[in-house]
Amino acid sequence: MVTTIPGSEILTSSLNMISQSLQIPVIIFLVIFAVFAVLAIGGLISEYTSRKKVSPELIEELIYSISNAESPSQIKDIIKNAKIYESQKVVLIKILRSSSLTIDSRQALAKKLIEFEENKFSKRIERTDVVTRIGPTLGLMGTLIPMGPGLAALGSGDVNTLANAIIVAFDTTVVGIGAGAVAYFVSKVRRRWYEEYLSNLDALIDSLLDKLKQWGLFMVREKSKKRFSEGEEDPMAGTSNLVDVMLVIAVGLLIFVVISWNMQSVVFSENQNQQQAIDQSSPSVTEVSEGQTLNDTPESSDSSGQGYMEMGKVYKDPSTGKLIMVEGWK
């Protein structure tokens, strides 16, 4: 005997209503993430075409040129003519022009400029990291939400509803994982580019500050211990678990569907066999209309005639062999 807790039906119906109401928002967000993933790939290609290839040899040459410079104006000309990013030139020139500031103020300025560059790149990477983490999660939600009504429809024999639910579940899974994979690729490539950018900028700033220190204009900068990618968790770390869960659900669902179809085929086969056995065991019946004369005696069996309505009694004429039915005889 199953005991029903008072109020449990209201709670379960409320959960079901909330779950089903999330299906449309989940699909909308998945479409948005898919569009964002396509735009992110386009932005990555555009950034790659406009990206400057700064070799280690070029950074080494700039460091030697700055160290061998004889005046701040000469360093300024070296920076302007260098084949590095314009944003790197702006940072170096701002530090070079800070001779009117105190030592602490100039050090704070250099630290703030490098932190500004790091934060700028961090914001770009955070967008794709969000899609990397949330995309597969929404795909899992889009897989589970339609499965409830689909399995309920399978229990009532509505295979079409189950098929539509499976299509929605698999589509959301593919879109969620696909958007997350594309975003992860974009984040990975950009993180490597920005690390190289900041590493080169760090080396040039250290060289410039060391030269200013030799002139008595500056002190050695304390490097920031925190870099936007250091100690950061892999955005795809939790995705593998979600993929495993979705694969288990998909395999379990397929097994359940196959077993259900096999059970239905077995039941239908048994029903057909039973019907055939009944038809074979049923006695042959001769239809008789009113006023009709039977010349031959029909074959009979020990059947009780269950399911038929008695109309009267039948007598046989011994001289002619004809059968005569008398209606209303009890």
pLDDT digits (tens, 9 = 90+) for 125-178: 999 999 998 998 898 888 888 888 887 777 777 778 888 888 888 889 899 999
- More reliable by pLDDT, 199 or 317: 199
Distances in Å between the alpha carbon of 168 and those of 149, 176, 228?
Answer: 12, 12, 38
Asked if residue 12 has pLDDT above 50, the reply is: yes
By C-alpha distance, which of 148, 134, 211, 221 is closest to 179?
Answer: 134
- Residue 296 is classified by DSSP as S
22 neighbors 137 (Cβ within 8 angstroms): no
Q: What are the residues whose beta carbons fall under 8 Å from the beta carbon of 25, sequence distance 6 or more?
A: none
Residue listed under structure tokens 């001289």: 319
**pLDDT for 14:** 84
Encode pLDDT of 268-277 as tens digits.
Answer: 555 565 556 5
Encode pLDDT of 14-42 as tens digits.
Answer: 888 888 888 899 999 999 999 999 999 99
User: What distance in Å separates the CA atoms of residue 144 and residue 141, rounded to the nearest whole number?
Assistant: 5
User: What distance in Å separates the CA atoms of residue 126 and residue 131, rounded to the nearest whole number?
Assistant: 9
User: What distance in Å separates the CA atoms of residue 60 and residue 10, rounded to the nearest whole number?
Assistant: 72
The number of beta carbons lying within 10 Å of the beta carbon of residue 300 is 11
The encoded tokens of residue 111 equal 């630290």
211 neighbors 67 (Cβ within 8 angstroms): yes
Asked if residue 49 has pLDDT above 80, the reply is: yes
146: helix, strand or coil: coil
**pLDDT for 111:** 83
**How does 109-142 read in b/e, with b if 16+ C-beta sit within 10 Å?**
bbeebbeebbeebbebbeebbebbbbbbebbbbb
The encoded tokens of residue 273 equal 């066999």
pLDDT grade for 216, boundaries at 50, 70 and 90: low
User: What distance in Å separates the CA atoms of residue 112 and residue 120, rounded to the nearest whole number?
Assistant: 12
**pLDDT for 267:** 47
pLDDT grade for 231, boundaries at 50, 70 and 90: very low
Farthest CA pair distance, the chain: 148
Q: Average of pLDDT values for 243-258?
A: 61
Q: Average of pLDDT values for 246-263?
A: 61
**Taking each helix axis from N to C terminus, what angle separates 103-144 and 159-214, rounded to the nearest 10 degrees?**
170
**pLDDT for 285:** 46
pLDDT grade for 184, boundaries at 50, 70 and 90: very high
Encode pLDDT of 293-316 as tens digits.
Answer: 555 555 554 555 555 566 667 777
**How does 265-281 read in b/e, with b if 16+ C-beta sit within 10 Å?**
eeeeeeeeeeeeeeeee
**pLDDT for 280:** 56
**pLDDT for 193:** 92
Alpha helices in the chain (DSSP H): 8-21, 23-49, 56-67, 72-81, 86-96, 103-144, 147-155, 159-214, 239-281
Asked if residue 1 has pLDDT above 50, the reply is: no
Q: What are the residues whose beta carbons fall under 8 Å from the beta carbon of 298, sequence distance 6 or more?
A: 284, 285, 286
**pLDDT for 220:** 44
Encode pLDDT of 71-122 as tens digits.
Answer: 888 888 888 888 888 888 888 888 888 766 776 777 788 888 888 888 999 9
Single pTM value for the model: 0.65
User: What distance in Å separates the CA atoms of residue 308 and residue 287, rounded to the nearest whole number?
Assistant: 12
**pLDDT for 175:** 92
- More reliable by pLDDT, 187 or 307: 187
